[in-house]
A = this chain, B = another copy of it.
């Protein structure tokens, strides 16, 4: 028999309260932004505060909400506390973002205002990119900072951080399509990279998602020792 001491109602209340602790933790723009940064790799509180343009104490408090919801984990390194995403959080976060983006006209409008009206010719999608990569017919260029590339990148990508791109354009092939990728849909680096690469006479398009989306879609990741 079921344990009579716990009524179904009491159990449901407890269950949904526990569930809501996780969804509540994700219910703040600041915290979503923090999670988005953490998808790229572990960060200290200070780095996270800088990256999200908020005071350190605010970032710390938001991070503790995320930690209580067990969405992130901490580790002390000397005087720094390093936060990282908890296991399995990345794909769920990305799936949520995709859902939000798919059914939010406001978000699509905001992207249009910021990125400009890019035609579909500018971007390549996961499926096509995957087959081109498998055939070795494309050069995949990851323009994120080196440490983010080291933490995780699309298998087969090469790293040229955006700041170094102008002087390292000659490393890119002239006879292949160049695909630029950065942090994900809210990151403008890949767009600028595509412009630079095109200006050098090469053909280039953008993969507008990031490592977590790639993984969610069944793609392989790689990481360097670091």
Interface residues, chain A, with chain B CB atoms under 8 Å away: 1-3, 5-6, 8-9, 11-24, 26-30, 32-33, 36, 53, 70, 86, 88-89, 91-92, 95-97, 99-104, 106-107, 110-111, 113-116, 186, 188, 191-192
The quantity of this chain's copies bound in the complex is 2
Smallest CB–CB gap between A34 and chain B, Å?
10
Say whether, besides A19-B97, A100-B22, A27 and B27 are in contact (CB < 8 Å).
Answer: yes
CB-based contact A2/B116 at 8 Å: yes
- A101 nearest CB neighbor, chain B only: B19
B residues near A102, Cβ cutoff 8 Å: 88
B residues near A17, Cβ cutoff 8 Å: 29
CB-based contact A106/B18 at 8 Å: yes
B residues near A19, Cβ cutoff 8 Å: 29, 32, 96-97, 100-101, 104, 107
B residues near A101, Cβ cutoff 8 Å: 19
Say whether, besides A92-B96, A99-B92, A106 and B23 are in contact (CB < 8 Å).
Answer: no
Smallest CB–CB gap between A212 and chain B, Å?
13
- Tell me the bound Cα distance from A33 to B96 in angstroms: 18
CB-based contact B96/A2 at 8 Å: no
Q: What are 7 A-B pairs at a CB distance below 8 A?
A: A2-B115, A6-B114, A9-B53, A15-B111, A19-B101, A24-B28, A88-B102
* 5 closest A-B pairs by CB: A27-B27, A16-B29, A18-B107, A24-B27, A11-B114
